Amino acid sequence: MDSNFQPIDQLPTFSGQQAEHERIEINLLLEGVYRIYGYDFRNYSYPSIRRRIWHRILAEKLTTVSGLQEKVLHDRECLERLLSDLVIHVTEMFRDPEVFLTFRQKVVPLLRQYPAIRIWHAGCATGEEVYSMAILLHEEGLYDRTRIYATDINEDVLKKAEKGIYPLRNMKDYTRNYLQSGGKEAFSKYYTASKDSVTLHSFLRDNIVFAQHNLVTDRSFNEFHVILCRNVLIYFNTQLQNQVHTLIYESLGPSGFLILGDKETITFTKHASAYEAVSTADKIYRKVQ
């Protein structure tokens, strides 16, 4: 996931007062980014945020957090580069195929009762999982009555997602995931290949709305039958996780389904009792109150 970042042992190591000074500097940087630009990373996991900030410091050929702060607060392009470091964009088509298989087997039959279906992919990154859901729903005969809202904090990755163009080299892994998820066709049916990339067929984009949305600062914008927020919450601290879980709870309709990442849970949130597990192993839950 962090292959583009400096290994931990190459980052500066501080102890005692130096470590405390560094933490203060990082807090000031994040506070400045929030106050000036509105992006709130103040409650992200500190080890993760520190690693990503130091990656940007080194990439900008700077030596201190304060130096990065000065540049970020006066240079919008530097901010955009920092945002690309801070927002995690690790995804693939039919990632964790067993989740999509369980969704196909246990959730799809219950979605058939709705004349119109609304799904929210929160933190959609470059869109691979969004298109995976579109393919699954197409095969189950539900896509024509579904609207998928795919959101992310980063405008650049949303632009990539809208294009639906992915590296050809990934198709072998994506095809394997697709088949393991219960895919019913030849996966190549869904894209056109060129020299080194593939373009997903346009009908898969017809019912997808890509939009910028900040899980930390923005509010609920609709009521959904399904919300996928996978591998996003693990980068937040407990306070922020609870805040986002409240947003999700308020955005999920009665008997709606929530799908989390494999290392995420609702167990220790204040809304835990509002859900029942459809599949604990696959982190699929249904709202019951």
pLDDT tens per residue across span 145-163: 999 999 998 888 999 999 9
Is residue 38 pLDDT above 80, yes or no? no
CATH superfamily of 97-287: Vaccinia Virus protein VP39 (3.40.50.150)
The pLDDT of residue 234: 80
Percent of the chain with pLDDT over 90: 76
What does the DSSP assignment read for the chain? --TTSPPGGGS----HHHHHHHHHHHHHHHHHHHHHH----TTB-HHHHHHHHHHHHHHTT--SHHHHHHHHHH-HHHHHHHHHHHS-----TTSSHHHHHHIIIIIHHHHTT-SSEEEEEES-TTSHHHHHHHHHHHHTT-GGGEEEEEEES-HHHHHHHHHTEEEGGGHHHHHHHHHHTT--S-GGGGEEE-SSEEEE-GGGGTTEEEEE--TTT----S-EEEEEE-SSGGGB-HHHHHHHHHHHHHHEEEEEEEEE-TT--STTSTTGGGEEEEETTTTEEEE--
Distance CA 14, CA 85 (A): 22
Q: Does the predicted TM-score (pTM) go above 0.75?
A: yes
Distance CA 98, CA 86 (A): 29
pLDDT band at 135 (very low <50, low <70, confident <90, very high): very high
Q: What is the mean pLDDT of residues 46-75?
A: 94
202 vs 269, residue with greater confidence: 202
The pLDDT of residue 155: 87
Q: What is the mean pLDDT of residues 137-149?
A: 99
What does the DSSP assignment read for 183-219? --S-GGGGEEE-SSEEEE-GGGGTTEEEEE--TTT--
The pLDDT of residue 207: 99
The pLDDT of residue 168: 97
**What tokens were used for 83?**
């945002």
Distance CA 27, CA 21 (A): 10
pLDDT band at 80 (very low <50, low <70, confident <90, very high): confident
The pLDDT of residue 58: 94
**What tokens were used for 283?**
């982190």
pLDDT band at 86 (very low <50, low <70, confident <90, very high): confident
Is residue 21 pLDDT above 80, yes or no? yes
pLDDT band at 3 (very low <50, low <70, confident <90, very high): very low
The pLDDT of residue 5: 45
The pLDDT of residue 14: 87
The pLDDT of residue 238: 82
Is residue 103 pLDDT above 70, yes or no? yes
Judge contact between 151 and 211, C-beta under 8 A: yes
Is residue 77 pLDDT above 80, yes or no? yes
The pLDDT of residue 244: 93
pLDDT band at 1 (very low <50, low <70, confident <90, very high): very low
The pLDDT of residue 87: 76
Distance CA 198, CA 165 (A): 6
pLDDT band at 40 (very low <50, low <70, confident <90, very high): confident
Q: Which residue ranges make up each domain of the chain?
A: 8-86, 97-287
